[in-house]
């Protein structure tokens, strides 16, 4: 039987190996949580991020790192999982205006649903996710109203939820700018050289510097007044 033995201590942390989820893990660790990190091999073209996620989980003292397979590439509909071109050099205003082709249908719902399932099995009460509604790519599943609705769904659809042991979705970066996220991570000792954000890395894993993820990341480092430690193959 599932028992939520100490909900204030165990947490499932969704970890892509990117800047945001790495900072989120550092925050959960700083809060004293025992962190169970969850990543997905979902057919993403930037699969190098899984190796980075493993390195980050090890460095930040995660209790465990579980990588689950998903067949999202068989569903398609995204430049990250299908043979569509990743947009490059978009202006920030453009990112704010429309949902880009790098949007993956249902991704965060699927990720969170697995995180809740694992949390229920582990007896964890919290799920940490590094979504951000400020410096982000316009994905609908990164918005606070989505997270609130998902939390309600999770508590109605699980044994633990029905039995009154409530799951909480924690999104500590939700209202931070990229600059603030980076400053917070650096204050917690995060080595951003371990992380990977680019949607279109080359064979050596070097970032393109031009996709939305790279541009948001570079803007954040510039505003924080710090050099981004990862390798770029082109850089403006």
42 is a site residue for its own copies (CB under 8 A)? no
Contact 173, 23 (CB under 8 A): yes
Q: Which residues contact 163 (CB under 8 A, 6 or more apart)?
A: none
Provide the minimum distance between the beta carbon of 22 and its own copies in the complex, in angstroms, as a whole number.
Answer: 23
Q: What's the chain's length in residues?
A: 236
- Angstrom CA distances, 60 to 19, 27, 54, 206, stand at 13, 10, 10, 23
Residue 219, helix vs strand vs coil = helix
Provide the minimum distance between the beta carbon of 56 and its own copies in the complex, in angstroms, as a whole number.
Answer: 20
In the set 7, 59, 77, 226, which binds its own copies (CB under 8 A)? 77
CA distance 181 to 53: 18
Window 162 to 221, contacts with its own copies (CB under 8 A) = 162
71 is a site residue for its own copies (CB under 8 A)? yes
70 is a site residue for its own copies (CB under 8 A)? yes
159 is a site residue for its own copies (CB under 8 A)? yes
In the set 153, 165, 166, 186, which binds its own copies (CB under 8 A)? 153
Contact 25, 128 (CB under 8 A): yes
Q: Which residues bind its own copies (CB under 8 A)?
A: 1-2, 66, 68-72, 74-77, 99, 101, 103-110, 113-114, 116-118, 120-121, 140-141, 143, 145-146, 149-150, 152-154, 156-159, 161-162
């Amino acid at each position: 039987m599932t028992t939520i033995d100490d909900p204030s201590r165990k947490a499932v942390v969704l970890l892509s190996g990117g800047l945001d989820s790495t900072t989120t893990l550092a925050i959960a660790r700083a809060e004293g949580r025992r962190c169970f990190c969850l990543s997905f091999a979902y057919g993403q073209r930037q699969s190098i991020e899984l190796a980075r996620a493993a390195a980050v989980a090890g460095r930040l003292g995660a209790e465990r790192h579980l990588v689950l397979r998903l067949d999202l590439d068989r569903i398609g509909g995204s430049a990250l999982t299908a043979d569509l071109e990743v947009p490059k050099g978009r202006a920030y205003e453009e990112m704010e205006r429309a949902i880009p082709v790098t949007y993956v249908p249902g991704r965060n719902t699927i990720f969170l649903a697995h995180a809740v399932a694992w949390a229920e099995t582990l007896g964890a009460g919290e799920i940490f996710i590094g979504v951000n509604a400020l410096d982000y790519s316009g994905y609908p599943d990164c918005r606070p109203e989505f997270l609130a609705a998902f939390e309600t769904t999770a508590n109605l659809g699980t044994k633990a939820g029905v039995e009154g042991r409530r799951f909480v979705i924690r999104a500590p970066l939700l209202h931070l700018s990229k600059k603030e996220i980076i400053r917070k991570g650096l204050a917690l000792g995060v080595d951003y050289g371990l992380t990977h954000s680019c949607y279109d890395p080359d064979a050596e894993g070097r970032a393109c510097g031009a996709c939305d993820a790279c541009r948001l990341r570079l803007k954040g480092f510039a505003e924080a007044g710090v050099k981004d430690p990862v390798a770029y193959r082109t850089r403006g």
